[in-house]
């Protein structure tokens, strides 16, 4: 998985987590989804920051 | 109605704004050939479309390698539209918006996957078109069900009918030999307007709720009014274009 893909998937998972947190009563699932999305997105951001533009 | 969660809404707003900033930065690097678009061009220009195809490219590569058929993506879009309708109906506005945006992405991806996998053809095009109409109608049904006791339901009905008409006019005109790719509010624009309108509404509602103690759907209502008005305008635009083209062809024959 490339950093760009991780960022995109992380953002989608994070937004589903935010939706669950805001709108539903499934707060445990929301926390898990938020955590998974946050870790994936953060990894994508950090990994992308250390890749030379020509290799992205 | 669930509690107010301004902290989560603030965090999500910051993440979304940061993502939009990153997207704008990469959007500026996209190069597209200049086209004589004019005022009838879609609201999302060629640059945005090319950029989004680049974003979804790796996912399409993965699906192609995994041997997933384009029809499966088309049906997944329908399932997500049912989910979004259920989310809207039950008052989960932000979640409904997220499902709409993901369904819209699948709508873009199924065609690209079919073209890349060599399975593009009249059969797939027919299935895609019919499923798209169903998906859109189901989503609006959910939004309408949420606003069933308010005047907004009339706006939703107008938006739903006009959205179907936008596609119908094009299909009918193309059946009569007129190519109709123009129109201000085409399907991707409708997905973006409804999806981001719902997500924005969910966030604003939770932020405002911390002050007023009540949830509000003002942003979603504004998005729906815009959707209804611009869809109706697009139908008129396409009708005028098609009638003019048919008039010319009638005179020529």
What is the secondary structure of B147-181 as a DSSP string?
TTTSTHHHHHHHHHHHHHHHHHHHHHHHHTT----
Residue A22 to residue B98, Cβ atoms within 8 A = no
Closest in A2, A12, A23 to B94, CB measured? A23
- The reply to whether CATH 3.30.70.20 applies to domain B44-252 is no
Cβ–Cβ contact A25 with B under 8 A: yes
Residue A15 to residue B199, Cβ atoms within 8 A = yes
Which residues from A are below 8 Å from B91, CB to CB? 23
What's the whole-number average pLDDT of chain B? Answer: 86
Which residues from A are below 8 Å from B19, CB to CB? 11
In degrees and rounded to multiples of 5, residue B125 shows phi and psi of -65, -40
Euclidean distance between CA atoms B208 and B213, whole angstroms = 8
- Can you list the pairs that B13-22 forms with residues at least 24 positions away whose Cβ atoms lie under 8 Å? B13/B203, B13/B207, B15/A11, B15/A14, B15/A18, B15/A41, B16/A15, B16/B199, B16/B203, B19/A11, B22/A7
Residue B154 near residue B199 (C-beta atoms within 8 A)? no
Residues in chain A, pLDDT under 50: 56
Residue B87 near residue B198 (C-beta atoms within 8 A)? no
Residue B121 has pLDDT above 50, yes or no: yes
Say what the pLDDT of residue B119 is.
Answer: 75
Euclidean distance between CA atoms B168 and B184, whole angstroms = 15
Say what the pLDDT of residue B248 is.
Answer: 74
Which residues from A are below 8 Å from B16, CB to CB? 15
- Which of helix, strand or coil describes residue B239? helix
Euclidean distance between CA atoms B238 and B220, whole angstroms = 26
Cβ–Cβ contact B209 with A under 8 A: no
Residue B7 has pLDDT above 80, yes or no: yes
Closest in B59, B94, B102 to A22, CB measured? B94
Percent share of chain B, pLDDT over 70: 92
In degrees and rounded to multiples of 5, residue B133 shows phi and psi of -65, -45
Residue A22 to residue B12, Cβ atoms within 8 A = yes
- With a threshold of 0.85, tell me whether the complex ipTM lies above it: no
Among A42, A25, A30, A21, smallest CA distance to B206 is for A21
Say what the pLDDT of residue B39 is.
Answer: 47
Looking at chain B, which residue has its C-alpha nearest residue A31? B8
Closest in A16, A23, A41 to B202, CB measured? A23
Cβ–Cβ contact A56 with B under 8 A: no
Residue A22 to residue B102, Cβ atoms within 8 A = no
Residue B98 has pLDDT above 90, yes or no: yes
Residue B202 to residue A5, Cβ atoms within 8 A = no
Residue A22 to residue B15, Cβ atoms within 8 A = no
Q: Which residues contact B237 (CB under 8 A, 6 or more apart)?
A: B40, B182, B183, B184
Closest in A5, A22, A25 to B5, CB measured? A22
Alpha-carbon dihedral angle through residues A6, A10, A12, A16, given to the nearest 10 degrees:
160
> What does the block give as tokens for B113?
């996957």
Burial of B191 (C-beta count, 10 Å sphere; 0-12/13-18/19+): buried
Q: How many domains does the structure of chain A reveal?
A: 1
Which whole number is the average pLDDT over B86-108? Answer: 93
> What does the block give as tokens for A26?
């499934």
Q: pLDDT, tens digit, for every residue of B124-150?
A: 888 888 999 999 999 999 999 999 999
Residue B146 near residue B88 (C-beta atoms within 8 A)? yes
Say what the pLDDT of residue B77 is.
Answer: 93
- Indicate the pTM of the whole model: 0.87
Residue A5 to residue B206, Cβ atoms within 8 A = no
Closest in B9, B95, B102 to A20, CB measured? B95
H-run or E-run covering B13: helix B6-28
Euclidean distance between CA atoms B61 and B80, whole angstroms = 21
Domain carrying residue A30: 3-55
Q: pLDDT, tens digit, for every residue of B193-226?
A: 999 999 999 999 999 988 888 888 999 999 999 9
CA distance A19 to chain B (A): 4
Euclidean distance between CA atoms B155 and B252, whole angstroms = 41
Say what the pLDDT of residue A35 is.
Answer: 92
């Amino acid at each position: 998985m490339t950093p760009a893909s991780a960022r995109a998937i992380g953002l989608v998972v994070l937004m589903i987590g935010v939706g669950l947190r805001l709108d539903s009563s499934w707060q445990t699932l929301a926390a898990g989804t938020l955590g998974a999305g946050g870790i994936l997105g953060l990894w994508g951001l950090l990994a992308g920051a250390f890749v030379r533009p020509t290799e992205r | 109605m669930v509690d107010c969660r301004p902290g989560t809404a603030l965090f999500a707003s910051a993440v979304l704004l940061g993502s939009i900033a990153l997207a704008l930065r990469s959007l500026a690097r996209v190069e597209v050939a200049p086209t004589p678009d004019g005022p009838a061009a879609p609201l999302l220009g060629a640059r945005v479309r090319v950029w989004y195809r680049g974003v979804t490219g790796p996912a399409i590569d993965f699906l192609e390698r995994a041997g997933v058929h384009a029809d499966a993506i088309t049906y997944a879009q329908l399932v997500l539209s049912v989910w979004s309708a259920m989310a809207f109906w039950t008052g989960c506005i932000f979640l409904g918006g997220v499902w709409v945006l993901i369904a819209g992405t699948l709508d873009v991806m199924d065609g690209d996957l079919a073209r890349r996998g060599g399975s593009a053809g009249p059969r797939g095009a027919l299935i895609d078109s019919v499923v798209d109409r169903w998906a859109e109608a189901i989503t609006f049904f959910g939004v309408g069900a949420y606003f069933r006791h308010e005047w907004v339901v009339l706006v939703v009905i107008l938006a739903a009918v006009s959205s179907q008409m936008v596609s119908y006019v094009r299909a009918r005109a193309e059946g009569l030999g007129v190519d109709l790719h123009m129109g201000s509010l085409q399907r991707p624009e409708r997905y973006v307007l409804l999806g981001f309108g719902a997500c924005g509404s969910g966030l604003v509602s939770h932020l405002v709720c911390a002050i007023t103690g009540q949830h509000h759907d003002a942003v979603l209502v504004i998005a729906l009014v815009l959707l209804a008005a611009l869809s109706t305008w697009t139908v008129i635009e396409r009708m005028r274009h098609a009638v003019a083209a048919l008039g010319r062809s009638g005179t020529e024959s």
